[in-house]
Chains A and B, each alone.
Chain A
Amino acid sequence: NAGVMQNPRHLVRRRGQEARLRCSPMKGHSHVYWYRQLPEEGLKFMVYLQKENIIDESGMPKERFSAEFPKEGPSILRIQQVVRGDSAAYFCASSPSGDTNYGYTFGSGTRLTVV
């Protein structure tokens, strides 16, 4: 029973390139959350998705960032034209419902480094 799977674990991109981060939720989970952890900072909510729907993107930067969770396949967090300030650990979490007020399971994260 695999947990939340994220890949790649480490991603290096040059400034201006695109970064694609993938998240496969736990089996049976149809709700996905993305968080970003900057150095010396706690986790910050970015976006909450259900299959084929963005439910809450209040934490997403207005430009260059987008997320999707298609009917088939993993959820994707996409960062266009990356800048040094995008270097962070990006964590995905999943839950079986959108009313999970008792916490949810996180993946091991993707560590993005922009050079």
Chain B
Amino acid sequence: QKEVEQDPGPLSVPEGAIVSLNCTYSNSAFQYFMWYRQYSRKGPELLMYTYSSGNKEDGRFTAQVDKSSKYISLFIRDSQPSDSATYLCAMSAAGANSKLTFGKGITLSVRP
């Protein structure tokens, strides 16, 4: 079993839709959870991070962590064509020298 599993894609939605992206993980030591966005031929860009369980909101983006279920989600409200990118979840354990373990990524396409 992989440490981090991410829903396979690709995902195509119409503009304005609510998007839900999800990851599950198996390592109980993970405490820090991040979402990165990667445009084609670019480096990953940190979108959001959360510590332990709970929700965090930033504009149209909401990150949710459920440590009891080992499940994290990223919600995008009012999706825009500019949101079209690959989204990667990442996580790390305390004292792990900030080493990140990534999901495979899911490619999102928002149709105008």
B-contacting residues of A (Cβ < 8 Å)?
A: 4, 31, 33, 35, 40-45, 48, 55-56, 58-59, 91, 95, 98-109, 111
Residues of B within 8 A of A33 (CB): 98-99
> Given known contacts A33-B98, A104-B98, what 10 new A-B pairs fall within 8 Å (CB)?
A43-B44, A43-B90, A55-B97, A58-B99, A98-B98, A101-B51, A101-B94, A102-B32, A108-B43, A109-B42
Cβ contact within 8 Å between A45 and B44: no
Number of residues of chain B lying within 8 A (CB) of chain A: 27
Write out the residue numbers on chain B whose beta carbons fall within 8 Å of the beta carbon of A105.
Answer: 46
A41 and B45 CA atoms in complex are apart in Å by 17
Assuming A33-B98, A42-B102, A42-B105, is B90 touching A103 (CB within 8 A)? yes
B97 and A91 within 8 A (CB): no
From known contacts A42-B6, A105-B46, A106-B43, infer whether A56 and B97 are also in contact, taking CB-CB under 8 Å. Answer: yes
CB distance from B70 to the nearest CB of A (A): 17
**CB-nearest residue of chain B to A107:** B43
Q: Which B residues lie at the A interface, using CB under 8 A?
A: 4, 6, 31-32, 34, 36, 41-46, 49, 51, 88, 90, 92, 94, 97-105
Q: Is the CB of B43 within 8 A of A91?
A: yes
Known pairs A42-B103, A48-B99; A102 contacts B43 (CB<8 A): no
Interchain CA distance A102-B98 in the complex, whole Å: 8
> A45 contacts which of B6, B42, B101 (Cβ < 8 Å)?
B101
Separation of A20 and B4 alpha carbons in the complex (Å): 30
Considering the complex, give the chain B residue whose CB is closest to the CB of A108. Answer: B43
Closest Cβ of chain A: how far from B85's Cβ, in Å?
14
- Which of A44, A101, A107 is within 8 Å of B98, CB to CB? A101
Q: Are A44 and B102 in contact (CB under 8 A)?
A: yes
